[in-house]
Amino acid sequence: MKSKMNIKSIVMMATVGIISLFFINMSFAVGTAKVSVETANLRETADENAKILELLSMNENVEVIEKTGDWYQVKARGITGYVRQDLITVSEKIEENKETSNKETTEEKTENKQPETEAKTEEKEIELGKQKVVEDTKLKIVPVINATDIIEVKKDEEVEVTEIINGWACIETKTTKGWIRKEKLKKEEAKQEETKQEQPEEPKKEEVKQVSKTLYVNTTSINVRKEASTSAEIIANLPVNTAVQVIAEVNGWSQVKVSGKDGYILSSLLSTKKQETSRSSTQPRTPEKAKETSTTSTAPAPSGKGSTAVATAKQYIGCKYVYGGSSPSGFDCSGFTSYVYRQHGVSLNRTAAGQYSNGVAVNRGNLQPGDLVMFGKSGINHVGIYIGGGMMVHAANPSRGVTTDTINSGYYNNNYVGARRVM
């Protein structure tokens, strides 16, 4: 009898142990959440630069598996990946994955064993703020060695370092924003020495060059701003070949007199001669069948108006990305396109998906500057403005802000949905 009782006790204990383990393992799937922004990136690992597996839309439900630092591991559309915690709203409190936390703690301890001098040197090399470039180098769209080049940054050009990731520095020049290898920047010691030698007691003021000359607007339409900044108030809008009297030049801007008031225009939008204009177009109107409807619509022949929207859009390259933003203080993708076209009298729907019903459909082979280009895997969740040469300008993401990208390779090529002509 005792032997049978002992066997029963052992079996019961084993059963309880197995059930406990089952519930412990199941506890990692801890709840659901909703995407709280217009578009959220589902990444392969808990890293801002990790591969994007899917783009999730606002209010989309996801299954939360666990919390790891500032990230949640989730399952959406049958795909498991990571989403930043500020992009979703979780239905209940999630306990952080202790196994991951312990691993991170172990890694931190391992890293802390490195020589103290080496750690200090690294800190100096990744100093944020004003730095100088040590040699001519290409500015990359993303922090990858074979990424598309944006512009060339010249030796000794001063740039603003805003972020350091895996040996890459995100920098801002006077005109754009992108990535270069951090070794292309002067170290902190050299920077501090130059600061003492070159700067007086007060920071350098903008260099103002007094001039007096007449120039002409060289694009279809330009904005005259109250101050020399793309975020400054617009006080006038001038058509092509308008003559303006330039009285001073300030860091790439021309100070002009317009209707008795002082204003500023980007110097690159002015020329010494008037532009030749033509109302004719040799390109025929092409009937295009829109993917999302069963009706056939005809895209208008390029009028040149789209180029004016491109010129306006480029003025905001470098502005930061803000979810729900629709002004120069911060844009999201559809907020950016809406803001640009509103300045040209065109009203667009507020979301990327909504803007796919604006204008008329355009075949990819007939894209013209100013066309809206849309992307997504399960529906449309991103939009940009085509600028020609296979490139678009768009509000990309929080780490890159308003920038340019190719639509002919990588994610945007693989997830291209269609285009709309709205001007």
| Residues 70 and 162 placed together within one structural domain of the fold | no
Q: What is the pLDDT of residue 287?
A: 33
Angstrom CA distances, 61 to 36, 41, 56, 153, 354, stand at: 10, 14, 9, 44, 20
Which of 61-65, 123-127, 217-221 is predicted least confidently? 123-127
At residue 182, does pLDDT exceed 70? yes
**Per annotation, catalytic residue among 170, 319, 344, 394:** 394
Angstrom CA distances, 368 to 74, 220, 255, 269, 392, stand at: 39, 16, 32, 20, 11
Tokens 């789209």 correspond to 306
Residue 241 lies in a domain: yes
Domain final residue pick, 220, 245, 271: 271
The 10s digit of each residue's pLDDT in 155-171 is 888 888 888 877 788 88
| Residues 233 and 135 placed together within one structural domain of the fold | no
Residue 390 lies in a domain: yes
DSSP tag of 263: E
| Residues 233 and 293 placed together within one structural domain of the fold | no
The reply to whether 344 belongs to the active site is no
Residue 386 lies in a domain: yes
Residue 6 lies in a domain: yes
At residue 392, does pLDDT exceed 90? yes
Residue 407 lies in a domain: yes
Kindly indicate the confidence band of residue 196, based on its pLDDT and cuts at 50, 70 and 90: very low
Biggest CA–CA distance in the chain, Å, is 113
Domain final residue pick, 135, 164, 198: 198
Residue 387 lies in a domain: yes
| Residues 410 and 325 placed together within one structural domain of the fold | yes
The 10s digit of each residue's pLDDT in 334-349 is 999 999 999 998 999 9
Q: What domain range includes position 20?
A: 2-101
Residue 113 lies in a domain: no
Q: What is the pLDDT of residue 203?
A: 43
| Residues 414 and 291 placed together within one structural domain of the fold | yes
CATH number at residue 63: 2.30.30.40
| Residues 194 and 212 placed together within one structural domain of the fold | no
Per the CB < 8 A criterion, the answer to whether 132 and 186 are in contact is yes
Write phi, then psi, for 321 (nearest 5 degrees): -95, 130
Residue 281 lies in a domain: no
pTM here? 0.38
Report the interhelical angle of 116-125 vs 188-198 (nearest 10°). 50
**Per annotation, catalytic residue among 170, 319, 344, 382:** 382
Q: What is the pLDDT of residue 316?
A: 93
CATH number at residue 339: 3.90.1720.10
Q: What is the rounded average pLDDT of the residues 184-211?
A: 54
Q: E strands of 230-371, at which residues?
A: 234-239, 243-250, 253-258, 261-266, 270-271, 286-289, 296-299, 326-327, 330-331, 360-362
- Which of 84-88, 377-381, 394-398 is the most confident on average? 394-398
| Residues 140 and 93 placed together within one structural domain of the fold | no
At residue 27, does pLDDT exceed 60? no
Which of 188-197, 306-315, 319-328 is predicted least confidently? 188-197
At residue 261, does pLDDT exceed 90? no
Domain final residue pick, 70, 101, 132: 101
The reply to whether 170 belongs to the active site is no
Count of the separate structural domains present in the chain: 4
| Residues 27 and 85 placed together within one structural domain of the fold | yes
Q: What is the rounded average pLDDT of the residues 301-307?
A: 66
b/e sequence 1-39, b meaning 16+ C-beta within 10 Å:
eeeeeeeeeeeeeeeeeeeeeeeeeeeeebebbebebbb
| Residues 293 and 415 placed together within one structural domain of the fold | yes
Percentage, residues of the chain above pLDDT 70:
71
Q: What is the pLDDT of residue 18?
A: 59
| Residues 291 and 417 placed together within one structural domain of the fold | yes
At residue 377, does pLDDT exceed 90? no
The reply to whether 319 belongs to the active site is no
| Residues 38 and 145 placed together within one structural domain of the fold | no
More confident residue, 138 or 305: 138
Q: What is the rounded average pLDDT of the residues 407-421?
A: 92
The 10s digit of each residue's pLDDT in 98-156 is 444 444 444 444 444 444 433 333 434 556 788 888 888 888 887 777 777 888 888 88
At residue 358, does pLDDT exceed 90? yes
| Residues 336 and 386 placed together within one structural domain of the fold | yes
Angstrom CA distances, 21 to 24, 219, 263, 314, stand at: 5, 70, 71, 57
Q: What is the pLDDT of residue 17?
A: 59
